[in-house]
Amino acid sequence: MEKVKYSIVVPVFNEEEVIGESHRRLKDVMDSTGESYELIFVNDGSRDKTLEILADINGRDRNSKVLSFSRNFGHQTAITAGMDASCGEAVVVIDADLQDPPEVILAMIEAWKNGWQVVYGKRSKRKGESAFKLLTAKIFYRVLDGMTDVDIPVDTGDFRLIDRVVCDTLKALPEHNRYVRGLVSWVGFRQTAVEYVREERFAGETKYPLKKMLKLAGDGLAAFSYKPLTVSTWLGVMTATFAGLYLLLTLILNLCSVWGWSAVHYLGGCIILVGGIILIMLGIVGNYLGRVLDEARGRPKYIIGERIGFDD
């Protein structure tokens, strides 16, 4: 395997409108370093012309390589595959949509050369996003930070540079449901931030709508915190206490002839409330058990359908 200084990992899903410009800007930035590099585009089961465009890019640029999944495995898995295939002394993860400016990579490289082993991009401002998206993103990062047992920096995504030692450590972690930014925080090493302004998408639509944001939050919580299970326990205790007091109050009032048969309706509502809480708790426990089952199956994290530009 050819030894290079920098590996740039770019997860891609249905980005035919932007991938050409993304490659051009990444190439301009990395050429300006005067050092060797590779651009690893990971096609996450795109259904448009993304793979065709990437194959054409590889034909024109020897530094560009393509991993193409057999189907869609997800953004975090695409990042993992790119890291697995990288060989640079430093590895940069950046999305293809150009919301994270490739030019910020130069500041990350400078920090890395000053001894930092993880340099993550911290968003000081987010352009072109609705008030709802900004609010939900703010809530997402703060709730995740408060609920997890690992100090995951707020207002950061997966845009970051990691040292080869950090990358090899991440590759050795066996878990399938991966929350990469959480794993990077969990492994430790010397970490710092580079602030930048997040731009609007160059073209196309966001690949992280609210539904995927909620799934990402769930992955982060399940991977790095037992607090949802603790919440389940305390909710059970409080509900049982409330139900016991309610039944005692109902008995006293009936004995005093304050309530008649109508107390049954209140009791029915209490039963429904308790039943709903039980179902929620079972769902939380089932989520954890499902992840245990995924690990026990031992299936590969992803399947590569095609490799372009890689030496055998």
Q: Where are the domains of the chain?
A: 4-225, 227-297
Please list the pLDDT of the chain residue by residue as tens digits (312 residues): 567 899 999 999 998 888 999 999 999 999 999 999 999 999 998 888 999 999 999 989 989 999 999 998 888 899 999 999 999 999 999 998 888 899 999 999 999 999 999 999 888 776 656 666 666 666 666 666 666 666 777 777 789 999 999 999 998 888 877 888 888 888 888 999 888 888 765 555 665 555 666 666 666 666 666 566 666 666 666 776 776 676 677 667 666 665 554 555 566 666 766 776 777 777 777 767 777 776 777 778 889 989 988 875
Correct CATH for 4-225 of 3.40.50.300, 3.90.550.10, 3.40.47.10, 3.40.50.1000: 3.90.550.10
Strand intervals (E) in 88-172:
88-93, 118-126, 156-163
Give the per-residue pLDDT at 139: 66
Residue 119 CB neighbours (<10 A): 26
Q: Cβ distance 121 to 94 under 8 Å?
A: no
Give the per-residue pLDDT at 9: 95
The DSSP symbol for 152 reads: P
Give the per-residue pLDDT at 261: 47
Q: Where are the alpha helices (DSSP H) in 151-309?
A: 164-171, 180-187, 210-224, 227-255, 263-297
Give the per-residue pLDDT at 106: 94
Give the per-residue pLDDT at 297: 74
Task: Label residues 259-284 b or e (16+ Cβ within 10 Å = b).
Answer: beeebeeeeeebeeeeeebeeebeeb
